[in-house]
C-alpha cells in the first residue's frame, strides 16, 4: 500500500466558484483561503504525510488585473497573520517557496516572521508557493550552483531548489488537466489526480478518497515489478 509523504495541490477555481454564485472574484479567494485552513488541519493529522505544498501565486499571476493582484497581496498578508494559531495549534512548520523579492518589504517581513515562529513544527511542513514558477526555480537553482562554484549535477540542482523534496501526489482542482509550471522537477514521478471540484468546494472527504485511490497505485519509477 502506497503512502503519500508529500502532497502538492494546484488550488484552481476560486474565480469560477464566485462567478457561478454572482459574487466578485475576491469572494472566491476568501472562500479558498478558508479551505486552505481546513485541508492543512486535516493533512497535519495524518501521521504518514510529512509535506503539503500549495500553489498560491505563480510568476504568471502578475498578469491579472492590478486590482485583483492588490487584493491577493492583502489577502495573503491577512492569511499569514490569521493562521499563526492554526499552525501553532497543529504543530505545523510554515515555509514559503518562490522568489519573494518581488513582494513588498512588509509582506516579506510577514512571511519571515511566520517561518521563524513555526520553525519547530514537526507534524507537517506546509509550503506555500508564492511568486513561484517551476522553470524559474530551476534557473535560480542553477545560478546558485554557479555562484557557489559547484558542479551542475542532478543531486546538486535538487539540493539547491526552493523545495528539494520529491512529490508523491499532485492534485489539481477546477477541472483543468495540466500542471501549469508547478514543481516541474519535484513532480517527475508524482501521481497526478485531477478533479472537477472547484477549490472552495474541495473538502476532507474528497481528499480521503484521493488518498485511498493513491494507496492502490503500483508505482514503478521507471522500473519493473
Superfamily of domain 6-131+167-215: Decaprenyl diphosphate synthase-like (3.40.1180.10)
Element (H, E) at 53: strand 51-58
pLDDT per residue as tens digits for the range 122-133? 999 999 999 999
Question: Checking DSSP bridges between strand 6-10 and strand 169-172, what pairing results, if any?
Answer: parallel
Give the separation between CA 172 and CA 11, rounded to whole angstroms: 6
Q: State yes or no: pLDDT of 222 exceeds 70.
A: no
DSSP type of residue 160: T
pLDDT per residue as tens digits for the range 187-214? 999 999 999 999 999 999 999 999 999 9
pLDDT per residue as tens digits for the range 44-73? 999 999 999 999 999 999 999 999 999 999
> Is 12 an annotated catalytic residue?
yes
In 3D, which of 155, 175, 150 has the Cα closest to residue 166? Answer: 155
Give the separation between CA 167 and CA 164, rounded to whole angstroms: 10
Question: Checking DSSP bridges between strand 124-132 and strand 169-172, what pairing results, if any?
Answer: unpaired
Grid coordinates representing 184 are 516541474
Q: What is the mean pLDDT of residues 215-221?
A: 78
| pLDDT tier at 2, thresholds 50, 70, 90 | confident
In the block, cell 497535519 appears at 44
Grid coordinates representing 21 are 454564485
Grid coordinates representing 84 are 499563526
Burial of 196 (0-12, 13-18, 19+ CB in 10 A): exposed
Amino acid at each position: 500500500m502506497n503512502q503519500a509523504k508529500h502532497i502538492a495541490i494546484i488550488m484552481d477555481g476560486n474565480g469560477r466558484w464566485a462567478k457561478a454564485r454572482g459574487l466578485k472574484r475576491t469572494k472566491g479567494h476568501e472562500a479558498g483561503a478558508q479551505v486552505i485552513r481546513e485541508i492543512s488541519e486535516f493533512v497535519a493529522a495524518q501521521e504518514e504525510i510529512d509535506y503539503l505544498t500549495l500553489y498560491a501565486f505563480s510568476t504568471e499571476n502578475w498578469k491579472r488585473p492590478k486590482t485583483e493582484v492588490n487584493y491577493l497581496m492583502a489577502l495573503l498578508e491577512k492569511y499569514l497573520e490569521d493562521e499563526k494559531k492554526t499552525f501553532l495549534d497543529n504543530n505545523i512548520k510554515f515555509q514559503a517557496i518562490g522568489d519573494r523579492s518581488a513582494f513588498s518589504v512588509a509582506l516579506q517581513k510577514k512571511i519571515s516572521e511566520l517561518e521563524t515562529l513555526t520553525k519547530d513544527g514537526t507534524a507537517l511542513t506546509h509550503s506555500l508557493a508564492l511568486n513561484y514558477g517551476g522553470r524559474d526555480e530551476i534557473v535560480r537553482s542553477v545560478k546558485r550552483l554557479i555562484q557557489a562554484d559547484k558542479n551542475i549535477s542532478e543531486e546538486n540542482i535538487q539540493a539547491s531548489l526552493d523545495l528539494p523534496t520529491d512529490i508523491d501526489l499532485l492534485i489539481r482542482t477546477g477541472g483543468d488537466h495540466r500542471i501549469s509550471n508547478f514543481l516541474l522537477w519535484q513532480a517527475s514521478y508524482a501521481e497526478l489526480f485531477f478533479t472537477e471540484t472547484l477549490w472552495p468546494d474541495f473538502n476532507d472527504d474528497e481528499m480521503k478518497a484521493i488518498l485511498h485511490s493513491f494507496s492502490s497505485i503500483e508505482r514503478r519509477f521507471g522500473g519493473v515489478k
